[in-house]
Chains A and B, each alone.
Chain A
Amino acid sequence: MTGGGPNKVAIVGIGQSTLSRDAGRSVGALALDAVRDAILDSGVPREKIDGVSGIYSTDQPTVWPGYVVEGLGLKNIVWSNCSSPPSANTVTEGILAVAGGACDYAVCYHSKFRWDMVSGAARKDPLRRSPRGAFDPAMNMPLVESCGVPNGMFAAMQRHAHEFGTTREHLGMIVVNNRNWALENEAAVFNDTPLTMEDYLAAPQIAPPLTALDMDMPIDGAMAVVITTAERAADLPNRPAIVEASSNGLTGGTDFFFHAFDSYAAYRVLMDRLWNKSGLTIEDMDLVNIYDGFSSLALEWIEAAFDVRGEAGGFLEDSWDADAGKLTFLGRIPMSTHGGNLGEGRVQGFGHVLEAVRQLRGSAGKRQIDEAKLALVVNGNNPVNAGMILRAG
């Protein structure tokens, strides 16, 4: 390394478990599947993996790094991390660790599982019982419980519609786009389930204006990436995805409740940082993988990424191809070619990272886009988020 600056960093390996409603495997086994596959894909010998990064969740049990280290016999770990959400924080932390020299080869993973708190169906399965114990890092739980734990994100969408005239059709464009891309992704949970705009508009609004189709599908699944320096990446088999910028935005507590209306502000902080650090603009991007835990969050992400606050409706209309059922921004930029969380399944935005790497490698198969050189990945909701810009190496 010369110049004394931080190391340039690259994603050199990706791996994932099956993504399904019922994997027939534990969440721990799924995490090991993904981490093993990412390490094998990277070509890095197991002995050289010296960093591991996971996530803890505030509402559901998660697989912590020690489990993965033990489960895969990783014996040379000198750096580990267990981040707060969103899920891409596990990747941004790994990027920092490698850039700063805390470790040389970091594996970063996230796993999701249909625990018993997810649904009535999950509660009937004795193999989905979660460990007990509430966790309340935002310190607001009793105030929220007293009102029946309403979800501020739904109210944020009501407010958006009130202020800006956003309609269900606008949300439908996001949902149908992602579901149509999922038809071209064999790993997606909705790979064989087409959805038209008519289907979308006919769906019951369970949390008006949102329907079940606006909410990511809970699944059993895990994903992982391997990160090292761009210099070391040159000796590895895959075309690297170089990190041009990565960052977090954080503007408040994580209860999605009292801060429910600050999402655009939080997204703005992140986007400004990514553009400033990379020297790039949205016009430079060839692909945008936009977090879609709820379609309404993706709508505000699009406003922040394309700098169209309050104008998402018209912007989506201009980008919508009704015949294809897909969105193309600025005449050429597709969104979430793997299908996003709404189409591929809920690994909480981790699939957006993997898909960017695939597209930049040129290994996205039938959904490969031409000349994919730069991808924007944004992750999370309000007021906590993360994002990165990746370049084909």
Chain B
Amino acid sequence: MTVTWPTRMDHDTAAYWQGLSDGKLVLCRCKQCETWIHPPRGRCPECWSDDIGHQSPGGQATLYSYLIQPTAPKQPPEVIGWAELDEQKELFIVAPVEGMPLDNVEIGARLTLGFREQGGTNLPVFRTGDTK
């Protein structure tokens, strides 16, 4: 698959974008204290270690909040969710939520990570419900 890199990438975010091009969500995680860190950073905000590794979370999340985002003209808007990953409190992935009616968005709903290609870049999305 051809990768379209984002407009700006650096030493902290490269693993995130490489992961997406491989069809995975790859996040920073401190090797010393196991804190998950997102957005990507070069040093742990909890223990100050720079021993930062990368791991994929399990993909289960809860909808913490959202907004209704316009898309293209004459297309329906979509739900952009702050998905709080099960791994850690307030560890958010901000991504579209598919399969949730616009007039009944449910904060607290269970979500499962997926991916969708957009403009040549593979991006995270969430779908309603837990993985079976």
Contacts and interface: CB of A to CB of B under 8 A. Distances in A.
Interface in A317-347: none
A208 B95 CA distance: 17
A162 B66 CA distance: 11
Nearest to B71: A148
Nearest to B92: A258
A165 to B, nearest CB: 13
Contacts of A148: 69, 71, 80
Contacts of B66: 155, 158
B13 A143 contact: yes
A137 interface: no
B92 A158 contact: no
A136 B9 CA distance: 12
Nearest to B68: A208
Interface string A218-229: 000000000000
Nearest to A136: B8
A257 interface: yes
Contact of A258 (B7, B8, B13, B39): B39
B6 interface: yes
B8 A141 contact: yes
Given A148-B80, A150-B94, A142 B13 contact: yes
A119 interface: no
Interface residues of A, number: 27
A164 B55 CA distance: 35
Nearest to B82: A155
A162 B105 CA distance: 11
A145 B6 contact: yes
A146 interface: yes
B67 A142 contact: no
Contacts of B80: 147-148, 150, 155
Given A156-B65, A159-B64, A162-B65, A257 B7 contact: no
Interface in A152-200: 152, 154-156, 158-159, 162
B90 interface: yes
A158 B8 CA distance: 30
A320 B12 CA distance: 49
28 contacts: A136-B8, A139-B10, A142-B6, A143-B13, A143-B39, A146-B118, A146-B123, A147-B94, A147-B96, A147-B123, A148-B71, A150-B67, A152-B82, A152-B94, A155-B80, A156-B65, A159-B64, A159-B65, A162-B107, A162-B108, A207-B68, A208-B67, A208-B68, A257-B94, A258-B92, A261-B64, A261-B65, A261-B90
Interface of B: 6-10, 12-13, 16-17, 38-39, 64-69, 71, 80, 82, 90, 92, 94-96, 107-108, 118, 121, 123
Given A158-B66, A258-B94, A260-B82, 4 more contacts: A139-B39, A147-B96, A155-B65, A159-B65
